[in-house]
Amino acid sequence: MDPLNVSIPVGEDEVSGLLLRPPNARALYLFAHGAGTNMTHRSLASNAAGLAERGIATLRYNFLYTEKGGKRPDPPRLAHTAVRAAAARAAELAGDLPLFAGGRSFGGRMTSQTQAEEPLPNVRGLAFLGFPLHPAGKPGVDRADHLTNVRVPMLFISGTRDALAELDLLQPVIARLGGRTSLHLVDEADHSFKVAAKSGRTNAEAEAEALDALANWAILLAN
């Protein structure tokens, strides 16, 4: 199944999107990319294909800086505008499906900031594939402050070796956010859900576990 190329108006600009909707879709996941990638990166393509196999449609999209070929991420204000525009486009393209939002690393964080400022219409929950709680080597929890203003369920999927979300910091954050927030840990995985060969696991197994967790969570909330 090939994704459908779509355009997403963002103010006076426009970004590209890729809609992948399987025939048995039970929900749609608005899927933002990480800071160092774009919507066509092989990891996002693999994730989208895997979610489609699990009955989850996806709308991947570029931020303005990646659409223009830039490397430096947009400031939050512009990133939030793109998230909100993509959510509106998702409603136009697949308004019959329950809508969830989030993404990889930077994309997930920008989505949560957008939701915290003003709820995205019809979004039932946020799911993060590797939430970047802090820069690598600079542990802290300031990046989680805005999450207390998110009023929909949240799922954090994180590797136990994620250098951008040390467990002794991430787990208390999840606990403070309360009952609507859950954490799924992928054993031995790093921020990109890669595992070392000595772990006895494969990257494909780690990815499948992460996607199972996201799909099962979304389908449960969609019903």
Domain locations in the chain?
Answer: 4-222
pLDDT value of residue 197: 87
Strand (E) or helix (H) holding 126? strand 123-129
pLDDT value of residue 98: 98
Spatial contact of 33 and 11, defined as CB atoms under 8 Å apart? no
Tokens standing for 189? 């995985």
User: What are the counts of helices (DSSP H) followed by strands (DSSP E) for the chain?
Assistant: 6, 8
pTM above 0.95, yes or no: yes
pLDDT value of residue 174: 96
pLDDT tens by residue, 58-117: 999 999 999 999 999 999 999 999 999 999 999 999 999 999 999 999 999 999 999 999
pLDDT value of residue 1: 83
What architecture does CATH give domain 4-222? 3-Layer(aba) Sandwich (3.40)
The low-confidence residues of the chain, meaning pLDDT below 70, are none
pLDDT value of residue 179: 82
CA pair distance 206, 203, nearest whole angstrom: 5
